[in-house]
Amino acid sequence: MDCLFCSIVAGKIPSSRVYEDDVCYAFRDIHPQAPVHILVIPKEHICCANAVTSENSATVAKIFEVIPVIAAEQGIDKSGYRVLTNCGDDACQTVKHLHFHILGGRKLSEEMA
Ligand code: 5GP
Ligand code: ZN
Kindly give the distance from the C-alpha atom of residue 13 to the centroid of ligand 2, in angstroms, as a whole number: 12
Q: Which residues make Cβ contacts (< 8 Å) with residue 44, sequence separation at least 6? A: 56, 59
What count of other Cβ atoms lies within 10 Å of the Cβ of residue 88? 12
Q: Is the pLDDT of residue 1 over 80?
A: no
Rounded Cα distance between 16 and 2, Å, is: 21
| pLDDT given for residue 98 in this prediction | 98
Give start and end residues of each alpha helix (H) in the chain: 4-9, 57-74
| pLDDT given for residue 80 in this prediction | 98
- pLDDT tens, residue by residue, 8-30: 999 999 999 999 999 999 999 99
What are the C-alpha distances in Å from 40 to residues 66, 94, 110, 111? 9, 15, 23, 22
| pLDDT given for residue 55 in this prediction | 98
Question: How much of the chain exceeds pLDDT 90, in percent?
Answer: 99
Query: Mean pLDDT over residues 82-110, rounded?
Result: 98
At residue 60 the predicted structure's pLDDT band, cuts being 50, 70 and 90, is very high
Surrounding residues of ion ligand 2, Cβ less than 5 A: 3, 5-6, 45, 97
What are the C-alpha distances in Å from 54 to residues 26, 32, 50, 64, 67? 23, 32, 12, 16, 21
DSSP state of 51: G
Q: Is the pLDDT of residue 46 over 80?
A: yes
Q: Ligand 1: does its nearest atom lie under 6 Å from the Cβ of 12?
A: no
